[in-house]
Structure 1
Amino acid sequence: MLWLACSLPLIACSFFLSGCSVYSFSGTNIDPEVKTISISTFQNNSSNGPSFLAQRFTEDFKDYFQRNTTLKLVPRDGDLQFEGAITAYDYAPAAIQNQNGIDQAGVNRLTIQVRVKYANTKDPKQDFEQTFQSNGDFPADQDITRINNDPTATRRITQNIITDTFNKSVANW
């Protein structure tokens, strides 16, 4: 009798996971007909982003999707297609503090925006075009040149954008 009580949660769990769509423990919800993905190079249309940003963002985007799905990356015409552009790269004071009667930035914030166009050739109802944004705060004494030279600084911000795009496109969140 005890074995029945212990196995009921497992039976219920398997019942809920066996729906019409495909669920994986990486959080994706991809139709089994979808086999390939194509990701065009994201252009850097921001006025002041570093020159390497577009290439690094595109490669990180590809890596994330390859690590978290079983889709085959193809140069073009994938079942799922991504393209877009980095539209903003802004570094500005975020917290003004008054020290000895002088207003100074206590923290500077780097904000990055990326416009993403997503096409699902198997289910066009899931297509979207949306701007994703993320930011990170840095000490006021760190200038933008120092942040641009630190590969982890912008990656933390762009990783949030990539995760949000992943969730909206293949995790259906």
Structure 2
Amino acid sequence: MKVFKFILGLFIVLLVTSCGIYSFTGADTGNAKTFQVNFFQNNAELIEPQLDFDFTNSLQDLIQNQTNLNLVNNGGDLIFEGEITEYRIAPMTATAQNTAAQNRLTMAVQVRYFNTLDEEKDFEQRFSFFFDYPANVQLNSVKAEAHEELFERITQDIFNASLANW
């Protein structure tokens, strides 16, 4: 019986300590304790009000929700910065009358990532995604849905490139 209790106790200790090492999101934050997300200015030709602010907040929220890092305004162990370089609408498919049947909203972000604790992980990369919607629909009526999908996909791609340990 003592052997069984010992093995059970050892199993529980291993289980509890191993959970501290593994992250369910796959995030590899190393020894980092803090992160900062500098303001992502909209430098695209088409300026959408509030887009830069909303995107910056979306990236901050994703990192806070998927890691145990603390958000700071400066001096972060991990630093994300960049700019929105593309925000455009283009027709995608045509009808028999040579009019657009579907439009595509594309957004691209140039990101610079700095890991002050491990400079080998630093990178600069472009991330983009698109949202298709019917041409007979105004962008304003689908903008909230479009931005949610664009932000979710782009911020997750940024997270995966910088912190995912797949």
TM-score (norm 2): 0.84
2:103 matches 1:104: no
Q: Which residue of 1 aligns with 2:32?
A: 34
Which stretch has the larger CA shift, 43-52 or 136-145? 136-145
Partner of 2:113: 118
Q: Match of 1:103, SS?
A: coil
Structure 2 unaligned segments of length 5 or more: list them.
1-10
2:128 aligned residue: 133
Return the offset for 1:106: 1.4
CA separation of 1:49/1:23 partners in 2, compared to 1, >3 Å: closer, same or farther?
farther
Percent of matched pairs sharing the same residue: 40
Pick closer, same or farther for the CA change 1:49–1:155 going to 2, 3 Å.
farther
2:53 to 23, 41, 55: 55
What's the CA shift for 1:97?
A: 2.6
Match of 2:71 in 1: 73
| Alpha-carbon distance in 1 for matches of 2:144, 2:139 | 12
Q: Cα offset for 1:85?
A: 0.4
Q: Over residues 123-149 of structure 1, what are the superposed CA-to-partner deviations in whole Å (9 max), with x where a residue is unaligned?
A: 1111000010000100111233444xx
Q: Which letter does structure 2 place at the counterpart of 1:25?
A: F
In structure 2, the residue matched to 1:157 is 150
What's the TM-score, normalizing by structure 1?
Answer: 0.81
Q: 2:88 aligned to 84, 87, 90, which one?
A: 90
1:76 Cα offset (Å):
1.1
Q: Residue 143 of structure 1: which of 138, 144, 147 is its match?
A: 138
CA distance in 2, matches of 1:160, 1:59: 14
The equivalent position to 1:166 in structure 2, one of 155, 159, 162, is 159
Q: Which has the higher contact order (CA 8 A, sep 6+)?
A: 2
1:46 and 1:88 in contact (8 A); partners too: yes
Cα deviation digits, residues 70-119 of structure 1 (max 9, x gap): 00100012100000100000101111232xxx212111000000000000
- Give the structure with the larger helix fraction: 2
Q: CA RMSD in A?
A: 2.0
Alpha-carbon deviation of 1:23?
3.2
* One-letter amino acid of the structure 1 residue matched with residue 126 of structure 2: T
Q: State how far apart, in whole Å, the 2-side matches of 1:172 and 1:90 are.
A: 32
8 Å Cα contact 1:23/1:30 also seen in 2: no
Contact 1:37 1:72 survives alignment (8 Å): yes
How far off its partner does 1:161 sit? Answer: 0.4
Structure 1: where are the runs of 5+ without partners?
A: 1-10
